[in-house]
Structure 1
Amino acid sequence: PRRWLNLQEYQSKKLMADHGVTVQRFFVADSADDALEAAQRLSKLTDNGSNLLHQIVMVAEALNISRETYFAILMDRACNGPVMVGSPQGGVDIEEVAVTNPELIFKKLCLTVISKCLYVVLYFSSVVCFDAKINFDDNAEFRQKEIFAMDDKSENEPIENEAAKYDLKYIGLDGNIACFVNGAGLAMATCDIISLNGGKPANFLDLGGGVKEAQVYQAFKLLTADPKVEAILVNIFGGIVNCAIIANGITKACRELELKVPLVVRLEGTNVHEAQRILNESGLPITSASDLEDAAKKAVASVAKK
């Protein structure tokens, strides 16, 4: 799946204000008292201030709006670069405008950061950024340290944050067959084939390329901690990945974690014969599969037997 750092609205607005964009006045509060105080600083209408708070709340100035305009800068692969998108029909779903009134959307190539926002014209002829959202590709983290330090992980599932500590990409799903795969495309294909064979994937877990035994162990630890998981399907294509490293990690995890659910393993690619030897000689109840279709059928069947 595509990975983004999604800034909170108050973070997006602060970033835009720091770069000279006019935004409405706002305050950020992390307690009911702070929210009430912030509201009092902006307005006299504070009766509901103590009822607003979740974890963090942005208390913003109310504006008397004359006109709204949508403006965004998006990465467009069809244009091989950033695209500027504008519409005089602000305040609504831009995708809906694209269907009903496409002539109201203006597009132009532009080189700048990825952002989208709602600009409003006030009755006293001032232009203000009223709503803002900025996303960053995770691949930019190495050169955008200050930006990524703003990442609020509190809204993530705890298991996702734990996976990230070991450079694992984890997304929880509703099924009972855990997927242990290298590469996002292969992971999605694995989920699809499980579904096509009548099963339901419990997660999307991408090991990535330069995987180590310790990551394999941690991945199994995460998967087995999920009470929904009734079987694990390992699907590895060893291009960059050494299948023998995966096999050693699997056997170590099975022994130390005392794996109690069926395990189906399909390995292909670099050092696969050594990997198969390691699994076969381990003495562990591991079911081998010849290809992805075979692996999915065996994983689904192992759950059905319960």
Structure 2
Amino acid sequence: MDIHEYQAKELLKKFGVNVPRGGIAYSPEQAVYRASELSGDKWVVKAQIHSGARGKAGGVRICSSEEEISDAAQWMLGRKLVTHQTGPQGKLVSRLYIEEATNIAQEIYLGFVMDRKLERVVVVASAQGGMEIEEISAEEPDSIIRSVVDPAVGMQNFQAREIAFSLGLEPALIPQAVKTIIGCYQMMWEHDANMVEINPLVVTGAGEIVALDAKVSFDENALFRHPDISELRDKSQEDPRETYAGDRGLSYIGLDGKIGCIVNGAGLAMATLDMIKMAGGEPANFLDVGGGASPERVLKSFKAVLNDKNVEAILVNIFAGINRCDWIAEGVVLAVKELDLKIPLVVRLSGTNVEEGMKLLKESGLEIETANTLAEAAEKVVGLWKASDETLAEAS
């Protein structure tokens, strides 16, 4: 789960990380008022969306007057900001963060990420801040510093000092840098975050280290332990298809294709996507219906898939171990009847109670195509989708 920049900064501030003063605004008038509260002669208006590269899309503006603040706020609010991370659909700007301007003397990149392979938190830092980490890796690979944190002892002062010295900071700045690095790690550890990124972390003209931007992502599986973090979720920034499925306990990732997939098991789901592509189609989603799926859960899965209006065919691929094919078949029949399904549907069942499941499908009298293998199922669903697509094209 991602959160907004201003929310991330509030969390980091509690752990001793220095952040600029700022306030949230939901209208141009409120943006001007926030700037007056901060005083000064320069302010930064920042669109709050779950994406990087906001500045390149016009989502970050430096303003020197109330009129400029109002104009920037009017331009951003209600607009779908498109960055290379959001895709062409963009993300809606419904709130702004008004922040005091900072006199920047040096920019640094500082990131903390959970490395699944190492099963450790890895600190990634670079003296070349202000760029995406991918750009830094390509343009300044030698500048990247990596440090693995031992979970048994956590981030230690000596380790934070090593990182700070490797960044080439002045000796007088080392204590501030150590405090910032340890604060970021502690926040990440105590809140079960997957990622903390400060880009840029800046050294100001006055010799202070300040987190000028902040991105934090949390492990959704651990949110039950952090109800205060769960409250920071902004569903307007999420893919509505994924939000719908996630709220119903389904593992779902939206894709750009036309063939919806309902599968049990992440590995089988990935193999199903590959087979659809090999057969000449494009999958519309990854959906793992999970083990022990009831007919009602299968129905929820169909609703989640059909929530994507681009879906023009559906493939159900189940290898039943904990699951039972007859439960899946009951759910498929229930979904076709209740949702009045009109698009092509192919079902491949294998494993526990497969005979009973196939019998239920055949005796339903519904237009449900069946297959014995994954390859056959993929070929069938792609063929039916192409045929229905051509029919629709001719009719129009």
Q: Normalising by structure 1, report the TM-score.
A: 0.91
- The alignment yields a C-alpha RMSD, in angstroms, of 1.9
Q: Look up the match of 1:10.
A: 6
Q: Look up the match of 2:132.
A: 93
Q: Distance in 2 between matches of 1:107 and 1:176?
A: 41
Q: Look up the match of 1:266.
A: 348
Does the alignment pair 1:116 with 2:231? Answer: no
Q: Which runs of 5+ in 1 are unaligned?
A: none
Q: Look up the match of 2:47.
A: none
Deviation at 1:263, TM superposition (A): 0.9
Q: Which runs of 5+ in 2 are unaligned?
A: 42-64, 78-92, 155-184, 189-194, 389-396
Q: Look up the match of 1:104.
A: 143
Q: Look up the match of 2:165.
A: none
Q: Distance in 2 between matches of 1:74 and 1:159?
A: 27
Deviation at 1:139, TM superposition (A): 1.6
Does the alignment pair 1:205 with 2:287? Answer: yes
Does the alignment pair 1:231 with 2:231? Answer: no
Q: Look up the match of 1:289.
A: 371
Deviates more, 1:145-154 or 1:214-223: 214-223
Percent identity for Structure 1 against Structure 2? 44
Classify 1:103/1:227 alpha carbon distance in 2 versus 1 (closer, same or farther; 3 Å).
closer
Q: Distance in 2 between matches of 1:225 and 1:137?
A: 25
Deviation at 1:154, TM superposition (A): 1.1
Does the alignment pair 1:60 with 2:89? Answer: no
Q: Look up the match of 2:243.
A: 161
Paired residues, what number? Answer: 302
Q: Normalising by structure 2, report the TM-score.
A: 0.72
Matches for 1:66-81 after TM superposition, within 5 Å: 66-81=105-120
Q: Distance in 2 between matches of 1:30 and 1:210?
A: 45
Deviation at 1:143, TM superposition (A): 1.8
Letter of the aligned partner of 1:103 in structure 2? D
Deviates more, 1:72-81 or 1:25-34: 72-81
The secondary structure found in structure 1 opposite 2:257 is coil
Q: Look up the match of 1:37.
A: 33
Contact 1:224 1:259 in 2 (8 A): no
Classify 1:210/1:148 alpha carbon distance in 2 versus 1 (closer, same or farther; 3 Å).
farther
Q: Distance in 2 between matches of 1:141 and 1:243?
A: 33
Q: Look up the match of 2:66.
A: 46
Q: Distance in 1 between matches of 2:241 and 2:119?
A: 35
Classify 1:255/1:32 alpha carbon distance in 2 versus 1 (closer, same or farther; 3 Å).
same
The secondary structure found in structure 2 opposite 1:108 is strand
Q: Distance in 1 between matches of 2:136 and 2:239?
A: 33
| Equivalent residue for 2:15, pick from 15, 19, 43 | 19
Q: Distance in 2 between matches of 1:128 and 1:159?
A: 37
Q: Look up the match of 2:55.
A: none
Classify 1:211/1:46 alpha carbon distance in 2 versus 1 (closer, same or farther; 3 Å).
farther
Q: Look up the match of 1:174.
A: 256
The secondary structure found in structure 1 opposite 2:271 is helix
Task: String of CA shifts for 1:108-130, please: whole Å, max 9, x gaps.
Answer: 12244231113111111111111
Classify 1:222/1:85 alpha carbon distance in 2 versus 1 (closer, same or farther; 3 Å).
closer
Deviates more, 1:177-186 or 1:118-127: 177-186
Task: String of CA shifts for 1:192-220, please: whole Å, max 9, x gaps.
Answer: 21121111222222222342222211222
Classify 1:269/1:46 alpha carbon distance in 2 versus 1 (closer, same or farther; 3 Å).
farther
The secondary structure found in structure 1 opposite 2:232 is coil
Contact 2:318 2:350 in 1 (8 A): yes
